[in-house]
């Protein structure tokens, strides 16, 4: 194959250019080139083969120059620039060889004359074949550059998303730590044993939060985490609180990203008031996990304004990154109640 490409193909390329020019010219002037004198055809064939070897060698050198001079990145400007250089070099070559050849072969009847039609054929046909050759040879290079660009762009995008998720995680941890430590603080003077148990439960919660938030976990782990969190929050809650928790038994092996339900529960504990009613439930509906938290509120307008703090804003951004087009989050004012509903398309 290398022998063919190096030694045979250039000659065939030159002959293809020659016979195409002859076909167009002879059809136009109603000639038959094989009826001409032999030496004329022999000279034209020899010059065409020489041009074929020079052109292919020149093109290959230009391709190496392009790759070394400019980074291989697929863009229309790069293709246009390379084509302009290649076509320009090809035009110089064919005009240096074919035009003097044509003049010399017809000098016996009209010295140093060449028709406009011959000039057009000599320039147009080799240019078209040069462009075709460029498209065939460079297509693999541009395709590889295009794929590399797409892979690099996806890599950069993933790195940016990973960085943002890590930032959101780092932003959320102090928020969680403050609330949990504040709960334990109120226990220290009144219930030392209870504070110890709270610290133990808090350590379990913190250990879970140290997991990679970009790795999915079975939803049961999330539910167990939420149950522990709810137990910890009940310690500092008023005795007036009427809490109802209901988790569907069908929730088991479905995969979800961790710590997405927590901000809704935490927000409810933070702003519960009025009749001190609170309900937490999760169930499976039509291939989605439907997670709802509803709590009564004392002063609705003020509560809604406060509810848009770090926790929920952080949650919205994480959902956009982790579940693009595969989630819905509803925050709804229902009179003296505030309802939050999160639906996720889960994986098995």
Task: Extract the tokens encoding 315.
Answer: 């949650």
Q: Can you tell me the mean pLDDT for 107-123?
A: 70
Residue ranges of domains in the chain, CATH in brackets? 2-149 (no CATH), 191-345 (3.30.565.10)
pLDDT confidence tier of residue 316, bands split at 50, 70 and 90: confident
- Mean pLDDT calculated for residue range 239-253: 89
Q: Which of 79-83, 176-180, 289-293 has the highest mean pLDDT?
A: 289-293
Q: What value does the mean pLDDT take over residues 268-277?
A: 87
Structure tokens at 133: 């050759």
**Cα–Cα distances in Å, from 317 out to 11, 320, 329?**
63, 5, 11
More confident residue, 188 or 55: 55
- As given in the structure block, the two tokens for residue 232 are 């910890």
pLDDT of 200 > 50? The answer is yes
Bigger pLDDT: 165 or 74? Answer: 74
What six digits make up the tokens of 40?
């004329």
DSSP 347: B
**Residue range 183-210: average pLDDT?**
72
DSSP H or E segment with residue 137: helix 116-188
Could you tell me if 265 and 223 are in contact, meaning their C-beta atoms sit under 8 angstroms apart?
no
What is the arithmetic mean of pLDDT over 203-218?
A: 69
pTM here? 0.51
Does position 304 have pLDDT exceeding 50, yes or no?
no
**C-alpha–C-alpha distance, residues 212 and 215, integer Å:** 6
Residue-level pLDDT at 303? 46
- Burial of 214: CB neighbours in 10 Å, binned 0-12, 13-18, 19+: middle
pLDDT for residue 154: 65
Other Cβ atoms within 10 Å of 33 Cβ, number: 15
For residues 115-138, average pLDDT: 86
Can you tell me the distance from the alpha carbon of 280 to that of 264, in angstroms, rounded to the nearest whole number?
A: 9
Distance CA 235, CA 139 (A): 68
- Least confident stretch, 181-185, 246-250, 273-277: 181-185
DSSP single-letter state for residue 348 = -
Q: State whether the Cα torsion 87-90-96-102 is positive or negative.
A: negative
**What are the structure tokens assigned to 125, written together?**
């046909």
CA–CA–CA angle 298, 304, 308 (5° rounding): 140
């Amino acid at each position: 194959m290398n022998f063919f490409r190096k030694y045979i193909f250039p000659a065939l390329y030159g002959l293809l250019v020659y016979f195409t020019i002859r076909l167009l010219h002879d059809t136009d002037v109603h000639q038959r080139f094989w009826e001409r004198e032999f030496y004329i055809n022999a000279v034209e064939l020899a010059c065409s083969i020489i041009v074929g070897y020079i052109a292919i060698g020149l093109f290959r050198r230009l391709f190496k120059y392009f790759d070394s001079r400019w980074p291989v990145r697929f863009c229309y400007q790069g293709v246009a620039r390379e084509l302009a250089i290649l076509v320009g070099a090809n035009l110089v070559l064919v005009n240096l060889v074919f035009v003097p050849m044509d003049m010399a072969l017809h000098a016996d009847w009209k010295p140093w004359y060449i028709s406009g039609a011959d000039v057009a054929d000599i320039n147009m046909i080799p240019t078209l074949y040069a462009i075709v050759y460029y498209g065939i040879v460079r297509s693999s290079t541009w395709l590889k550059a295009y794929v590399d660009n797409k892979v690099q762009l996806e890599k950069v995008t993933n790195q940016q998303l990973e960085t943002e998720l890590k930032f959101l995680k780092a932003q959320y941890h102090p928020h969680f730590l403050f609330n949990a430590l504040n709960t334990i603080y109120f226990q220290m003077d009144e219930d030392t044993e209870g504070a110890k148990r709270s610290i133990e439960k808090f350590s379990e919660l913190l250990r879970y939060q140290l997991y990679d938030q970009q790795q999915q976990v079975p939803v049961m782990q999330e539910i167990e985490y939420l149950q522990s969190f709810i137990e910890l929050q009940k310690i500092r809650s008023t005795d007036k609180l009427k809490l109802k928790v209901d988790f569907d038994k069908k929730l088991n092996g479905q995969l979800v990203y961790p710590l997405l339900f927590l901000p809704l529960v935490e927000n409810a504990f933070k702003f519960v008031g009025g009749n001190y009613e609170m309900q937490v439930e999760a169930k499976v509906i039509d291939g989605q996990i439907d997670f709802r938290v509803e709590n009564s509120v004392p002063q609705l307008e003020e509560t809604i304004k406060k509810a848009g703090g770090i926790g929920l804003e952080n949650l919205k951004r994480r959902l956009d990154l982790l579940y693009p087009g595969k989630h819905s989050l509803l925050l709804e004012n229902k009179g003296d109640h505030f309802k939050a509903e999160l639906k996720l398309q889960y994986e098995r």
